[in-house]
């Protein structure tokens, strides 16, 4: 499957459904979650302020976050959300959250990457989605009617407890400079295998001096793991690390040779590597699908994307990336507001 990402393409839309609880009257015995917050604040003449910590840089969904928060604040008179971007992705957010908890000034809702689910559950105080729904919703149906059991499983810890609500799902895909490939006679169809990517990278390097490939390098090896998986290896097996198998070593040696021996693959931090691709200094970039909007809006050449490559004789396998939203608010009032905001995030259209 080939996804063409031209600059003039319409923006992708991601729709998320949510059950909207009808609210008859503030004076009713049973009222919806939004009315509870607004009525409480109205009676006390106070606006409930909550903070939302996320990892979305402007090049990776940050503009959408700003829009979502702005729209929420417009439609919820007695709740005000302040968003804070945390650099260095999920690792950076966890470090900042640890410091905040030590000082006693934690945010109210946070974005947590899947890899940190157990760490978060074991080290921080939080309100589970199940408890929030039971505590604040008249109808206890939001979670099960919004998410499938499989999707919810991503947000569960090792004990099977639901820690947060799934918020984003992502996979790495292969972006390529179609203009450059055409110029140097590289057939995009050859990029279905890592051997084909390596051959294309050598041709690009030899003909232009530019790097042929960049694989994202944030504070983890998420993208690199797919090389192991797509060579028949596994990252873990029966609860134990298994990436150092023959298949795993062969996959990493292949990548290492591209960087050190052939010098066809660029080894640099994530933001710089993506910038080099966008600026035409790298022909092929292997990074998250979440970079699609930034890439298609920033390049001045024809860019396209295709599914992750695989090694010859194997099938393409990628790790699941993404995050959940978790409530870290401590007071009941803040928890109600955070739950209201969290539910709102699942019913809006994200246009970036």
Task: Read off the pLDDT of residues 133-162 as tens digits, 9 standing for 90 and up.
Answer: 999 999 999 999 999 999 999 999 999 999
pLDDT at 5 over 90: no
Ramachandran class of 248: left when φ > 0, alpha when ψ lies in -120 to 50, beta otherwise = alpha
Q: What is the pLDDT of residues 248-292, one digit of tens each?
A: 999 999 999 999 999 999 999 999 999 999 999 999 999 999 899
Q: What is the pLDDT of residues 6-21, one digit of tens each?
A: 333 333 333 333 333 3
What pLDDT, on a 0 to 100 scale, did the predictor assign at position 24? 32
What pLDDT, on a 0 to 100 scale, did the predictor assign at position 45? 62
* Poorest-pLDDT segment among 55-69, 110-124, 306-320: 55-69
What pLDDT, on a 0 to 100 scale, did the predictor assign at position 61? 84
CA of residue 248 relative to chain centroid, distance = 25
- Mean pLDDT over the full length of the chain: 86
Q: What is the pLDDT of residues 317-343, one digit of tens each?
A: 998 889 999 999 999 999 999 999 999
Q: Considering the entire predicted model, what is its pTM?
A: 0.74
Q: What is the pLDDT of residues 20-60, one digit of tens each?
A: 333 233 233 333 444 444 544 445 569 999 999 999 988 88
Mean pLDDT of 179-200: 97
Mean pLDDT of 211-226: 92
């Amino acid at each position: 499957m080939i996804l063409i990402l031209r600059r003039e393409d319409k923006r992708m839309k991601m729709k998320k459904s949510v059950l909207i609880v009808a609210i008859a009257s503030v004076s009713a015995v049973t009222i919806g979650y939004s009315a509870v917050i607004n009525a409480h604040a109205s009676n006390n003449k106070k606006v409930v302020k909550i903070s939302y910590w996320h990892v979305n840089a402007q090049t990776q969904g940050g503009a959408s976050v700003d829009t979502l928060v702005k729209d929420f604040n417009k439609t919820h008179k007695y709740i005000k959300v302040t968003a804070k971007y945390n650099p260095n992705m999920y690792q950076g957010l966890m470090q900042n959250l640890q410091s905040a908890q030590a000082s006693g000034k934690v945010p109210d809702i946070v974005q947590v990457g899947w890899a940190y689910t157990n760490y978060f559950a074991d080290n921080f105080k939080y309100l589970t989605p199940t408890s929030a729904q039971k505590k604040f919703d008249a109808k206890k149906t939001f979670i099960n009617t919004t998410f499938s059991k499989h999707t919810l499983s991503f947000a569960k810890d090792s004990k099977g407890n639901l820690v947060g609500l799934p918020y984003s799902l992502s996979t790495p895909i292969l972006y390529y400079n179609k203009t450059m490939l055409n110029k140097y006679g590289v057939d995009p169809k050859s990029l279905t295998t890592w051997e084909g990517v390596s051959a294309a990278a050598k041709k690009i390097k030899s003909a232009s001096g530019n790097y042929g490939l960049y694989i994202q390098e944030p504070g983890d090896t998420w993208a690199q793991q797919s090389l192991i998986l797509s060579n028949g290896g596994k990252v873990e097996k029966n609860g134990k690390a298994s990436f150092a198998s023959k298949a795993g070593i062969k996959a990493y040696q292949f990548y290492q040779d591209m960087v050190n021996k052939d010098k066809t693959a660029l080894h640099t931090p994530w933001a710089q590597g993506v910038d080099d691709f966008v600026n035409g200094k790298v022909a092929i970039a292997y990074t998250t699908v979440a970079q699609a909007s930034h890439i298609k809006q920033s390049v001045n050449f024809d860019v396209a994307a295709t599914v992750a490559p695989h090694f010859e004789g194997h099938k393409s396998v990628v790790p699941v990336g993404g995050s959940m939203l978790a409530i870290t608010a401590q007071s009941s009032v803040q928890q109600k507001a955070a739950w209201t905001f969290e539910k709102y995030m699942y019913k809006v259209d994200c246009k970036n």
